[in-house]
Amino acid sequence: MKQIFFLLVSTFLSISINGQSFIGAWEATSTSNAGVEIRNVVIFSEGYQVATWYEAKTGKFLKTNGGTWKLESDTMTEVVEFDSENPDRVGTELSFKVRIDVNTMGIIGDSATYKRIDDGSPGKLQNAWLMSGRVRNGETQLRDVNRPRKTMKILSGTRFQWIAYNTETKKFSGTGGGTYTTIDGKYTENIEFFSKDNSKVGMSLDFNYSIDNGNWTHTGFTSKGDPLHEIWSVRE
């Protein structure tokens, strides 16, 4: 599968072809030379995207890339913000023709097909978010979301992924993701891959969450058991 499909761009002009929207989560599977099943999950929000490859059985992280995207007619244009495998691609812009129907998508001229996981529902946090603050010892520490160093979290209706990276140095710092639910004020993450520590795969983390003035606040404990109180803002 051509990697250029997963290095996407910012200006939001259109998100659909013939009424079919890219927004949501998609997946494809393949088999490595060693006979290992590889899962590739792609999440689209309005203007931002991430794609990740990991072993389907063990959750072992392999690679991730993504950034911003726009669609004009059937041509998608992408700008890379992070690439764990090839950081030299950060900042590059690519365009290519895409195809989509109700439940599948891909690149025109490429045989690989991605099946839809969800269309951005039912999760209440579907969007691209940037970490904009933390609360420690009762004090709120705000973060400039326009700086090159970013922690972004992209959610579809059922899938989540966070990515830490720097667009200036092109450094990729880490990522993790899987499925999530939002039920009765509880946000629950079910980890399917974690680049820094594969032992976290299979864990479920529960948080209290709320949306206040457009900001997402959640409190709970990290995968290490440390107290956590984060503030996330919708990425413009």
User: Residue 10: is its pLDDT beyond 50?
Assistant: no
Q: What proportion of the chain, given as a percentage, has pLDDT over 90? A: 82
54 neighbors 43 (Cβ within 8 angstroms): no
6 neighbors 41 (Cβ within 8 angstroms): no
142-177 pLDDT, tens digit per residue, is: 999 999 999 999 999 999 999 999 999 999 999 999
- pLDDT given for residue 107 in this prediction: 85
Question: Hey, do 3-118 and 127-234 end up sharing a CATH topology, with the first three levels equal?
Answer: yes
Given pLDDT bands bounded at 50, 70 and 90, which one contains residue 3? very low
User: Residue 188: is its pLDDT beyond 60?
Assistant: yes
Beta strands 159-166; 149-155: pairing state: antiparallel
Domain 3-118 is in which class? mainly beta
Q: What is the reported pTM?
A: 0.90
- pLDDT given for residue 2 in this prediction: 45
- pLDDT given for residue 44 in this prediction: 96
Strands (E) located in 114-203:
114-118, 127-136, 139-142, 149-155, 159-166, 172-183, 186-194
Q: What proportion of the chain, given as a percentage, has pLDDT over 70? A: 93
Higher-confidence residue of 6 and 50: namely 50
Pick from 213, 25, 66, 229: nearest CA to 152 = 66
**Looking at residues 30-59, what average pLDDT do you find?**
96
Domain boundaries, the chain: 3-118, 127-234
Instruction: Determine phi and psi for 4, rounding to 5 degrees.
Output: -60, -20
Given pLDDT bands bounded at 50, 70 and 90, which one contains residue 7? very low
User: Residue 9: is its pLDDT beyond 70?
Assistant: no
8 neighbors 49 (Cβ within 8 angstroms): yes
> What average pLDDT is seen over the chain?
91
14-40 pLDDT, tens digit per residue, is: 676 767 899 999 999 999 999 999 999
- pLDDT given for residue 102 in this prediction: 85
3-state helix, strand, coil in the chain (%, to 5): 5, 60, 35
Q: Which CATH architecture has domain 127-234?
A: Beta Barrel (2.40)
**Looking at residues 81-88, what average pLDDT do you find?**
98
For residue 4, the 8-state DSSP code is G
For residue 167, the 8-state DSSP code is T
Look at residue 183 and give its three-state secondary structure.
strand
- pLDDT given for residue 137 in this prediction: 87
User: Residue 66: is its pLDDT beyond 50?
Assistant: yes
Given pLDDT bands bounded at 50, 70 and 90, which one contains residue 52? very high
196-213 pLDDT, tens digit per residue, is: 999 999 999 999 999 988
